[in-house]
Amino acid sequence: MERYYQPEIECASRDQILAWQNERLVKQVKHVWDSVPYYRKKMEEKGVEPGDIKGVEDLCKLPFLTKDDLRDAYPYGLLATPLKDCVRIQSTSGTTGRRVVAFYTQHDIDLWEECCARAIVAAGGTNEDVCHVCYGYGLFTGGPGLNGGSHKVGCLTLPMSSGNTDRQLQFMVDLGSTILCCTPSYAAYLAESINERGLRDKIKLKAGIFGAEAWSEEMRRDIEKSLGIKAYDIYGLTEISGPGVSFECSEQTGMHINEDHFIAEIIDPETGEVLPDGSKGELVFTSITKEAFPLLRYRTRDICVLSRKQCSCGRTHVKMSKPMGRSDDMLIIKGVNVFPSQIETVLINMGMPANYQLIVDRVNNSDTLDIEVEMTPEMFSDTVAQVTNREKELVSALKSMLGIYARVHLVAPKSIARSEGKAVRIIDKRKI
């Protein structure tokens, strides 16, 4: 039987959901107008005032926010409450190396964790469960979000964080983890390790909540089969709160967006025009309950489809498809957002021309990033040691910019294919 964390909200009537949205949106627009000069200016430029927004039908009158706005307004430009009321920041990578910083009041943390709790309960979680969280902890929202949600549900929470597979498996066996939260690629890797070590009969997993990167239906079936679990997708982004903006139910045909907190729209990424439900386009979120970092009409750049078809699970909130792509050039590698422009910044900072190519692949269910960089006279030397030293400096500068390890390959000048004079920057070989 389907279980809910907050049935009165998750299964509320459409009229009720709309009423909440109307009321909260009006209030939120006023809050932002009063406390975020950056956005107020954008509204003024568009000739919109809070009085013009009477409900969800007026949402399209508001200006968009993009990742560029977050960069321009860094760090406090979009903050809507005094810092003394904030209790946490989380952060994600930005387009040119400047990170995106999101602020949370205790109220914001609570609503975020509630969203994660809904996801855990939808995956069958109760206070009898042992919830094994191996998303990264720290600035990344994955670990803290699911950790908080797990507490709310009352699960015994194992804050494992990522890496150290031996320890993951030991705790999984010894403490009888029943719900696994991590990226799908790490789940596949753990599944492989479990089966290799013959631990399959010793684990008690029943469900997994996997997100932060793209994965296919085929990968889902593989993980489900090799771990003997049901695997649920979860979606979110730091700008809007973190994981749990939407989550999957037992039907596994899309993720319910927590519409009491976030209003979703699908727009044409070229024109910005709102598209009807069922159209494929860019997902835009408006946060209607957050206090500290309430983004209005934030363009996610994720391309997907919304569906309001009645769901067999009983939830009434709109469902979004898995993101089918991006309307910008952001890559998600090992769950980490990577922008080609960040690599450009590192190269330029090191006095190198920005001739490079990214090759992304998935080997043994784990993402790999290789960066080909064209050799320059400045970087070249007659001794191998000097060239490899410079290569190492580049690798470590990239690591600190991107947050993940990338193998660097030095290639001959002008050897990176150029089409119409513009370099082909990304080769994504992953079959997702």
Partner 1 sequence: MTIQQISIFVENKAGCLEAVMSLLAKNDIDIRALSIADTPDFGILRIIVSDTDKAAKVLADGGYVARSTPVLAVEIADRPGGMAEVLGVLAKADISLEYTYAFITRHTGSAYMICRVEDNDKAAGVLAEAGIKTATREEIDKL
Q: Which parts of this chain interact with partner 1 (CB under 8 A)?
A: 375-377, 380-385, 387-388, 409-415
Q: Which single residue is written with the structure tokens 């469902």?
A: 319
Q: In degrees, to the nearest 5, what angle opens at C-alpha 7 toward C-alphas 6 and 13? A: 120
Q: How many CB atoms lie within 10 A of CB 425?
A: 16
Residue among 47 and 377 whose Cβ is closer to partner 1? 377
Would you give the distance in Å from CA 169 to the centre of its chain?
26
CB of 413 to partner 1, least distance (A): 6
Residue among 1 and 412 whose Cβ is closer to partner 1? 412
CB of 378 to partner 1, least distance (A): 9
Q: Which two tokens stand for residue 288?
A: 């209607």
CB of 382 to partner 1, least distance (A): 4
Q: Which two tokens stand for residue 430?
A: 């992953």
CB of 395 to partner 1, least distance (A): 12
Residue among 275 and 375 whose Cβ is closer to partner 1? 375
Of 361, 375, 360, the residue nearest 414 (C-alpha): 375
Residue among 363 and 385 whose Cβ is closer to partner 1? 385
CB of 411 to partner 1, least distance (A): 6
Q: Which single residue is written with the structure tokens 């993980």?
A: 223
Residue among 233 and 374 whose Cβ is closer to partner 1? 374
CB of 354 to partner 1, least distance (A): 17
Q: In degrees, to the nearest 5, what angle opens at C-alpha 263 toward C-alphas 261 and 268? A: 155
Q: How many CB atoms lie within 10 A of CB 89?
A: 15
Of 202, 255, 10, the residue nearest 2 (C-alpha): 10
Residue 179, exposed/middle/buried by CB under 10 A (0-12, 13-18, 19+)?
A: buried
Residue among 282 and 374 whose Cβ is closer to partner 1? 374
Confirm if 236 and 264 have CB atoms less than 8 A apart: no
CB of 380 to partner 1, least distance (A): 5
Residue among 221 and 409 whose Cβ is closer to partner 1? 409
